[in-house]
């Protein structure tokens, strides 16, 4: 799946939403796996395309928390706030319109 013009923050919100919809707990490890599975080009190491790069989630997760779109931490788990869920649902609609899902 190609992410096209979506920001890393939007892709992470989508991945957290996706995990929630599948009733999986959104631990940091699950989030890395989900992001890489859905958007491998955006979440891989620059020289090793077959491996996920967890560093690409660090700053965006802090930004999303600061904007009050998510709650949680890498030591516990992550979840969407009501405004984060609303934004994630908008991202889902856009991706569906582009027939990426």
How confident is the model over 25-69, as pLDDT tens digits?
Answer: 999 999 999 999 999 999 999 999 999 999 999 999 999 999 999
Architecture (CATH level 2) of domain 8-97 = Orthogonal Bundle (1.10)
Instruction: Return the higher-pLDDT residue of 6 and 33.
Output: 33
Instruction: Return the higher-pLDDT residue of 89 and 94.
Output: 89
Cβ neighbours of residue 79 closer than 8 Å, sequence gap 6 or more: 16, 20, 26, 70, 71, 72
The pTM (predicted TM-score) of the whole model is 0.89
Distance from chain centroid for Cα 80: 11
Q: How far apart are CA 101 and CA 88, in angstroms?
A: 14
Domain ranges of the chain: 8-97
Average pLDDT of the residues in 9-25: 94
Beta strand ranges found along the chain (DSSP E): 70-72, 78-80
- For residues 32 and 54, the answer to whether their CB atoms sit within 8 Å is yes
């Amino acid at each position: 799946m190609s992410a096209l013009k979506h920001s890393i923050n939007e892709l992470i919100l989508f991945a957290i939403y996706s995990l929630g919809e599948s009733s999986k707990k959104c631990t940091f490890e699950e989030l890395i796996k989900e992001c890489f599975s859905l958007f491998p080009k955006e979440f891989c190491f620059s020289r090793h395309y077959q491996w996920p790069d967890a560093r690409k989630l660090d700053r965006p997760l802090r930004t999303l928390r600061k904007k009050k779109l998510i709650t949680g931490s890498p030591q516990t788990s992550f979840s969407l706030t009501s405004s984060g869920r609303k934004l994630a649902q908008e991202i889902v609609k856009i991706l569906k319109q582009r027939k990426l899902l």
